[in-house]
Amino acid sequence: MKQILIDIKVNFFSYFKDLTECESTVLHLPQGTNLDQALSVIRQQYPKMERMKRSTLAAVDLEYVAKNHILKAGEEISLFPPVQGG
Amino acid sequence: MKRSIKLTLEPIVESSLIAERKMSREMGAVNYFSGIVREGEEGKTIKAINYEAFDKMVLHQFDLILNEIEERWPIESIRLVHRTGTVKVNESSLWIEVISPHRTEAFEACQWLIDEMKKRVPIWKHPIFTKVD
């Protein structure tokens, strides 16, 4: 059976833009991929993100979600370091 | 609870914000906080901080925080302004006003809001260091 792929946009903020050398990218992921699996794909694609593994905050659209959140077509992942407002 | 959340590239003018204050006759406490850019950051002298924000998520996350405040304290109004872009030393990067019947809830809610902001509101600081000759 042919695997169905979905497009997921990934946005990078703060110095993650420097580590990845881009502001965003689009992943083509198998339907049913969760956030944690998507993060692994991102770390493979951008090895410099590996060392930020423990301090990466991840949001889907505008919400912080659990790592087992199943991604749906059209959703956007945003990745960034710890926040520093104020 | 009335609320106003604003991200702005423009300087925060405290006198204008205070002039726009609205409160009912039952309120007995106005607590406002201004966060100022310090000259020292990461042990070095800076001239400014460039604030980067994920605007849409900032507004959403502040909204969620204010929803929780509304559940916890009897607050009449919260106004919040956060700068983005370049903010010079001694300028305000954050301004918050909390209006409530009594001081305790105004102080507590303001403190909690700032604590939560520092955990989950996507804003980042990029210090602009003073050049050393």
Query: Does residue A80 sit at the B interface (CB-CB below 8 Å)?
Result: yes
Q: Is the pLDDT of residue B133 over 60?
A: no
**pLDDT greater than 80 at residue B17:** yes
Q: Which DSSP helix (H) or strand (E) runs through B6?
A: strand B2-8
List C-alpha distances in Å: A83 to B25, B47, B55, B63.
38, 21, 13, 17
What value does the mean pLDDT take over residues B17-45?
Answer: 95
Q: Measure CB to CB from residue B117 to each of A11, A78, A86 and give the nearest one.
A: A86
Mean pLDDT within B119-129: 97
What integer pLDDT is reported at residue A49 of this predicted model? 97
Q: Which residues in chain A land under pLDDT 50?
A: none
Question: What pLDDT shows up at residue B70?
Answer: 98
**CB B105 within 8 Å of CB B74:** yes
For the record, the structure tokens of B121 come out as 């509101």
Q: Which of A12, A60, A11, A57 is nearest to A34 (CA)?
A: A60
Site from B5, B54, B96 to mutate, A interface, most A CB atoms within 10 angstroms: B54
Please, which residues have CB within 8 angstroms of residue B79's CB and are 6 or more apart in sequence? B3, B4, B17, B95, B96, B97
Q: Which of B12, B49, B52, B63 to mutate to test the interface with A (most CBs of A within 10 A)?
A: B52
Dist. CA B4–CA B66, nearest whole Å: 10
Tens of pLDDT, residues B43-92: 899 999 999 999 999 999 999 999 999 999 999 999 999 999 999 999 99
pLDDT of residue A21: 98
Supply the ipTM of this predicted assembly.
0.95
Chain A: closest CA distance from residue B75 (Å): 21
Q: Residue B56: its chain A contacts at CB < 8 A?
A: 62
pLDDT, tens digit, 9 for 90 and up, residues B85-116: 999 999 999 999 999 999 999 999 999 999 99
Position B132 scores a pLDDT of 64
